[in-house]
Amino acid sequence: MSEKSKLRRLAPGRGLGEAEVVRHLAKVRLLTIDVDGVMTDGGLYYSDDGHIQRKYNVKDGVGIKRVLEKGVEVAIVSAGVSGSVPERARTLGVKHVFTGAEDKLAVIGKLAEDLGIGLEATAHIGDDLNDVPLMEAVGLAITVADAEPAAWAAAKVITERRGGDGAVREICDLLVKAHGGDAGAES
């Protein structure tokens, strides 16, 4: 990976290289992930009977499973409400799922407290205005390449990949590496 590519992962002016990102991720004990625009491309499909459908990236799912295997807690948090979110979490083995979460900071703050994990040991991947308060409170704020400007401003790390297109996997691979695993190997 070229130095330019490594630096693309970083929020402008933050001055962190990939090794520094991995060092920050080594402190993470709880990874929280937004759904629309992070786990998906932000598009919603409506069926004729009004049901919402989302398209998830399978590679992101493999990354999430690998992070769980490393003993890092994972939570999925979404302001949206849809049956696909809890079902996706169940198939990945994610126990902490919050939908309809208008105040993500309050929800994740309570979860972190219940788990005995401080917000300073929490990373959040978000992409829009409703993620910013949580991003500002956690130890490591992460956003995706196609995030809204407010999320970019709040982020310490910006992925190379877009939401729904492997951005979660990109962070999960680095998180696995930070916790002593092989970032590129399938477990």
Q: What residue ranges do the domains of the chain occupy?
A: 11-178
106-120 pLDDT tens trace: 999 999 999 999 999
Phi and psi (nearest 5°) for 179? -105, 25
Indicate whether 8 pLDDT > 70: no
Indicate whether 4 pLDDT > 70: no
Helix (H, G, I), strand (E, B) or coil at 93: coil
* Closest of 171, 149, 175 to residue 160, by C-alpha: 171
Q: Which CATH architecture has domain 11-178?
A: 3-Layer(aba) Sandwich (3.40)
- Give percent of the chain above pLDDT 70: 89
* Closest of 153, 142, 145 to residue 175, by C-alpha: 142
Contact 151, 142 (CB under 8 A): no
What are the structure tokens assigned to 76, written together?
């999925």
User: Between 50 and 68, whose confidence is greater?
Assistant: 68
Q: Provide the pLDDT confidence category of residue 10 given band limits of 50, 70 and 90.
A: low
Q: What is the pTM of this model?
A: 0.90
Which string of b and e fits 67-96 if b means at least 16 CB within 10 Å?
Answer: bbeeebbbbbbbbbebebbbebbeebebeb
